[in-house]
Amino acid sequence: NKVLVLHGPNLNLLGTRQPEIYGHETLDDINNSLYEKAALNGWDIKALQSNHEGGLIDAIHAAREDGTAAIIINPAAYTHTSVAILDALNAFDGKVIEVHLSNVHKRESFRHHSYVSLRADGVIAGLGSQGYLAALDALIKSAAKA
């Protein structure tokens, strides 16, 4: 089973970016723990970060063609602005799980609305890097039941 993990803008700065909100782990730390969990379960993960809306959209389009079963996405600030990412996800047939490191509902009101949530099968917010692992765990367990 193949999973695409997509990280949106500014998440390349994790570790040094507002660590009081986003934690001290780097994006590599997060991706490595995902790769490890996937490998233990015989799953295949591809992780990608882009600061560009179009880069994320291109990756979602590629996922339609290459047998990707699910997308775990933290669209970062595009969560709150991007109809284009929502449209791309609507054209993808697999599962979609939206992850946010911080609890967006506890923050500024402009972070309370998510376009991506209109498509997501599940949403995890506020669990820090654990949220990504919880998303992967849910995908693995639901595939095992199917």
Does 7 belong to an annotated binding site? no
> For ligand DQA, which stretch binds (CB under 6 A), given 38-46, 47-55, 59-67, 76-84?
76-84
**CA 85, CA 54: separation in Å to the nearest integer?**
8
**CA 53, CA 61: separation in Å to the nearest integer?**
13
Q: Which of 74, 82, 88, 116 binds ligand DQA (CB under 6 A)?
A: 74
In the chain, alpha helices (H):
19-22, 27-40, 53-65, 83-90, 130-145
Q: Which residues contact 68 (CB under 8 A, 6 or more apart)?
A: 2, 3, 4, 46, 62, 92, 94
76 contributes a contact to ligand DQA by CB under 6 A: yes
Cβ atoms of 71 and 52 closer than 8 Å: no
> For ligand DQA, which stretch binds (CB under 6 A), given 31-39, 40-48, 82-90, 98-106?
98-106
Does 121 belong to an annotated binding site? no
Contact characters 12-31, ligand DQA, x per CB under 6 A: --------------------
Q: Which CB atom, from 52 or from 64, has the smaller least distance to ligand DQA?
A: 52
The contact set with ligand DQA (CB under 6 A) reads: 10, 74, 76-77, 79, 100-102, 104, 111
